[in-house]
């Protein structure tokens, strides 16, 4: 009895020490909870999938500092925050909810007992006394220690909401410590219960249920969402990279193009933010003012696109294709070539519109080229033409596509491939300088020999004609007015009623107003015609060239360029003997050139055969006999 009594006192003192330690742990937990309260520290929102550092800063600025607070929002509410869209808000909220669910599952066995067994555990702890410890002395000490450990962990104060949030804020530090502690406890728990039968374990613990939860925790949820399959370079992408120029090659290409422009006296317009719309889609923008006569000049603007695709191009009347072996061009390259038409069309329209509206390009020309341009307009602000004092300017916008490889033209044998509906020349870099010289000659010849009156001439002649008609009609009606006054005096002396005289005067005034209105309407129609002509691109206007003009142009242009000029400038329905002779001369020149090339090739072939001709060697039986003789 004495020994039993001493054991009871010893066990009671040990249990009291354990309970005191539990109270100290609770006090330390409360202090840590206060020190990590949400009001002091902010959670790291970047641990959520889809939330970066910038998005986290926006959420913190909006007052959203915890993951739980973010998960309670709706997508439409969160999208009201500046810088967050509706789709991004939905992804952030789903990521926050998923993160909280994963975190709760990961810490379920450490911090929160199952709700349906929590009250039973508390009642069981309250009913424990020293007698029960005495009755269970037969159980192994390791089991008793494990029971006390499990009861301490299960009955310790549950994690409060503030501790959960503070734990999330310091995830990188606190979670590591808890994970290490959990690993140690799990090892002890499983090791201590290896030799216990199911009948000896109280049913309130339900270890099998708890183990199943731990095994089913999806610990790799975040990993599977973050890991993406590597992007592999497809066969088409590899072909595209091999078929286009790299950055260094494009830079050299651009420098060579600019060098040819400067040699042909073209001014290169520098890129700037004001000229962004004008430069959209093109690589180089050049301009040259071609002087025709003292009172007329041509502003030639050339938007240039550098083709970065390797290999020759084939140009037809309405499209451009990449000429490869077996015609296996990549669809991406063909789409790029097809997009050039839209690019050039938009660029030309932006250039004409910018100059007509006196925009940034208009200011650039006046400031850098000292043109002092003005746009002549009607009273209703319709554009008529460009002028600078007595000098009249015509605007020409002709695009050029430059490539580093050969260019073929399917419509006709010409020096340069040309598409009429865009006024587009497609040339290789070696012929780029030649096409610039040809454009200079082309527009000079057209403006020199074109029989069509210029817009400023039509406008000036119309104004002079209007003033002349108004003056003449006014003189006539002034005479009629004097005659009417004399007639009025005469009628008053003769006693004729005044109403009759007044009616005649009113009729004359109405007739005079009708005549002036007719003259004004004719002047309005003339200005409308000039405005419509101003809006039509230069290459779509009709040229008036007679046979004499064509003969004079033919003397200034070589035969090949003359054929190019006729194809570009004159309509196919235009009939002229000079044009027929030009076509015949071109065909004969082509035949002579081909025959000459054939003769040269044949002569070269025979020369190669003569050079490669060798002495006959000893073959067959004769060679064998000679070899045997030498061996003997």
| The last residue of a domain, from among 422, 449, 476 | 449
**pLDDT grade, residue 252 (50/70/90)?**
very high
Complete DSSP assignment for 423-444? TEEEEEGGGHHHHHHHHHHHHH
* Together in a domain, 438 and 299: yes
Q: What's the pLDDT at 446? A: 92
Neighbours of 22 (CB within 10 A): 15
Please check whether residue 597 lies inside any domain of the structure.
Answer: no
* Together in a domain, 412 and 301: yes
Rg (alpha carbons) of the chain, rounded to whole number = 49
Q: What's the pLDDT at 210? A: 42
Phi, psi of 619 (to 5 degrees): -120, 175
User: How is residue 210 written in tokens?
Assistant: 């708890």
* C-beta of residue 549 within 8 angstroms of C-beta of residue 541: no
Overall average pLDDT of the 497-510 stretch: 70
Q: What's the pLDDT at 42? A: 64
Least confident range from 128-137, 295-304, 435-444, 525-534: namely 128-137
Q: What's the pLDDT at 586? A: 60
* Together in a domain, 513 and 443: no
pLDDT tens for 25-47 read 444 444 444 444 444 456 777 77
Q: What's the pLDDT at 240? A: 58
Please check whether residue 553 lies inside any domain of the structure.
Answer: no
* Together in a domain, 463 and 518: yes
DSSP run (H or E) holding 190: helix 171-192
Q: What's the pLDDT at 501? A: 61
Neighbours of 500 (CB within 10 A): 9
* Together in a domain, 215 and 339: no
State the helix-helix crossing angle for 547-556 and 432-449, rounded to 10 degrees: 150
Strands (E), 43-179: none
Q: What's the pLDDT at 360? A: 93
Using the predicted structure, report yes or no on whether residue 480 has a pLDDT greater than 80.
Answer: no
Overall average pLDDT of the 137-143 stretch: 41
* C-beta of residue 387 within 8 angstroms of C-beta of residue 456: yes
* Together in a domain, 433 and 492: no
pLDDT tens for 579-617 read 777 766 665 565 666 566 666 655 554 455 555 544 444
Least confident range from 329-338, 403-412, 542-551, 621-630: namely 621-630
Residue 32: name the closest of 199, 222, 160, 190 by CA: 160
How, if at all, do strands 383-388 and 391-397 pair? antiparallel
State the helix-helix crossing angle for 559-569 and 547-556, rounded to 10 degrees: 140
* Together in a domain, 140 and 183: yes
* Together in a domain, 203 and 270: no
Q: In sequence order, what are the residues at sequence separation of 6 or more whose Cβ sits closer than 8 angstroms to the Cβ of residue 166?
A: 32, 33, 36, 37, 38, 41, 174
Q: What's the pLDDT at 363? A: 93
* Together in a domain, 362 and 340: yes
What sign for the dihedral angle of Cα 213, 216, 217, 219?
Answer: positive
Q: What is the dihedral of CA 136, 142, 148, 152, to 10 degrees?
A: -160
Please check whether residue 77 lies inside any domain of the structure.
Answer: yes
Please check whether residue 60 lies inside any domain of the structure.
Answer: yes
* Together in a domain, 211 and 321: no
Q: What's the pLDDT at 89? A: 82
* Together in a domain, 443 and 379: yes
| The last residue of a domain, from among 449, 478, 493 | 449
Higher pLDDT, 57 or 181: 57
User: How is residue 11 written in tokens?
Assistant: 């066990």
Q: What's the pLDDT at 129? A: 44
Domain coverage including residue 43:
2-226
**pLDDT grade, residue 573 (50/70/90)?**
low
**pLDDT grade, residue 245 (50/70/90)?**
confident
| The last residue of a domain, from among 192, 226, 260 | 226
DSSP-derived 3-state class of residue 542: coil
**pLDDT grade, residue 86 (50/70/90)?**
confident
Q: What's the pLDDT at 104? A: 66
Using the predicted structure, report yes or no on whether residue 374 has a pLDDT greater than 90.
Answer: yes
Please check whether residue 569 lies inside any domain of the structure.
Answer: no
Which range among 17-21, 170-174, 558-562 has the greatest average pLDDT? 558-562
Least confident range from 198-202, 340-344, 474-478, 505-509: namely 198-202
Please check whether residue 531 lies inside any domain of the structure.
Answer: yes
Please check whether residue 195 lies inside any domain of the structure.
Answer: yes
Q: What's the pLDDT at 583? A: 66
Burial class from Cβ neighbours inside 10 Å (0-12, 13-18, 19+) for residue 400 reads buried
Neighbours of 98 (CB within 10 A): 16
Overall average pLDDT of the 467-471 stretch: 84
Neighbours of 222 (CB within 10 A): 16
Using the predicted structure, report yes or no on whether residue 620 has a pLDDT greater than 70.
Answer: no
Please check whether residue 362 lies inside any domain of the structure.
Answer: yes
**Rounded distance between C-alpha atoms, residue 216 and residue 113, angstroms:** 17
Mean pLDDT rounded to a whole number for the chain: 72
Specify the DSSP class assigned to residue 327. Answer: G
* Together in a domain, 262 and 409: yes
**pLDDT grade, residue 107 (50/70/90)?**
low
The pTM of this model reads 0.55
How, if at all, do strands 400-403 and 296-306 pair? parallel
Using the predicted structure, report yes or no on whether residue 222 has a pLDDT greater than 80.
Answer: no
**pLDDT grade, residue 507 (50/70/90)?**
confident
User: How is residue 455 written in tokens?
Assistant: 């817009």
Count of the separate structural domains present in the chain = 3
Overall average pLDDT of the 85-98 stretch: 83
**pLDDT grade, residue 555 (50/70/90)?**
confident
């Amino acid at each position: 009895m004495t020994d039993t009594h001493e054991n009871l006192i010893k066990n009671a003192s040990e249990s009291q020490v354990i309970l005191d330690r539990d109270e100290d742990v609770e006090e330390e937990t409360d202090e840590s909870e206060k020190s990590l309260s949400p009001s002091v520290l902010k959670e790291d929102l970047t641990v959520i999938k889809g939330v970066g550092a910038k998005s986290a800063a926006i959420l913190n600025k909006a007052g959203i500092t915890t993951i739980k607070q973010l998960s309670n929002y709706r997508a439409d509410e969160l999208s009201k925050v500046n810088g967050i869209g509706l789709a991004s808000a939905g992804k952030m909220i789903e990521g926050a909810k998923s993160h909280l669910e994963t975190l709760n599952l990961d810490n379920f066995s450490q911090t929160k007992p199952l709700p349906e067994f929590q009250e039973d555990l508390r009642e069981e702890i309250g009913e424990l006394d020293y007698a029960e410890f005495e009755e269970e002395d037969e159980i192994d000490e390791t089991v008793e220690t494990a029971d006390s450990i499990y009861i301490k962990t299960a009955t310790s104060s549950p994690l409060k909401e503030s501790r959960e949030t503070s734990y999330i804020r310091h995830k990188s530090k606190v979670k590591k410590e808890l994970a290490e502690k959990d690993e140690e406890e799990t090892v002890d728990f499983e090791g201590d219960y290896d030799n216990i039968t199911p009948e000896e374990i109280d049913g309130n613990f339900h270890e099998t249920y708890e183990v199943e939860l731990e095994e089913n925790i999806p610990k790799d949820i975040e990993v599977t969402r973050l890991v993406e399959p590597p992007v592999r370079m497809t066969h088409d992408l590899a072909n595209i990279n091999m078929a286009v120029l790299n950055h260094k090659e494009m830079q050299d290409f651009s420098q060579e193009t600019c060098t040819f422009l400067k040699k042909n006296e073209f001014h290169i317009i520098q890129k700037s933010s004001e000229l962004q719309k004008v430069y959209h889609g093109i690589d180089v923008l050049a301009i040259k003012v071609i002087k025709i006569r003292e009172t007329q000049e041509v502003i030639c603007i050339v938007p240039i696109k550098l083709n970065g695709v390797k290999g020759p191009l084939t140009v037809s009347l309405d499209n451009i294709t990449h000429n490869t072996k077996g015609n296996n061009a990549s669809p991406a390259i063909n789409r790029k070539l097809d997009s050039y038409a839209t690019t050039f069309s938009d660029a030309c329209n932006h250039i004409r519109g910018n100059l007509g509206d006196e925009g940034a390009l208009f200011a650039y020309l006046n400031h850098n080229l000292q043109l002092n341009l003005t746009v002549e307009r009607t009273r209703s602000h319709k554009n008529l033409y460009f002028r600078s004092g007595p000098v009249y300017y015509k605007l020409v916008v002709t695009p050029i596509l430059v490539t580093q490889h050969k260019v073929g033209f399917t419509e006709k044998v010409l020096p340069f491939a040309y598409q009429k509906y865009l006024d587009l020349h497609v040339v290789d870099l070696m012929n780029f300088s030649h096409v610039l010289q040809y454009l200079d000659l082309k527009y000079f010849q057209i403006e020199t020999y074109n029989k069509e009156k210029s817009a400023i001439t039509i406008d000036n002649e119309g104004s002079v004609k209007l003033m002349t008609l108004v003056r003449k009609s006014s003189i006539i009606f002034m005479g009629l007015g004097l005659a009417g006054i004399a007639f009025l005096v005469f009628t008053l002396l003769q006693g004729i009623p005044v109403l009759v005289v007044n009616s005649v005067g009113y009729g004359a005034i109405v007739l005079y107003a009708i005549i002036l209105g007719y003259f004004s309407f004719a002047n309005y129609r003339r200005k409308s015609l000039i405005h419509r002509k101003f809006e039509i691109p230069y290459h779509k206007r009709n040229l008036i060239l007679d046979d004499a003009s064509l003969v004079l142009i033919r003397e200034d242009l070589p035969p090949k360029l003359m054929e190019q000029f006729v194809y570009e400038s004159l309509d196919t329905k235009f009939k002229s003997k000079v044009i027929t002779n030009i076509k015949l001369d071109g065909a004969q020149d082509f035949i002579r050139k081909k025959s000459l090339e054939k003769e040269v090739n044949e002569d070269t072939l025979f020369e190669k055969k003569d050079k490669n001709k060798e002495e006959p060697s000893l073959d067959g039986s004769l060679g064998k006999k000679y070899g045997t003789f030498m061996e003997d």
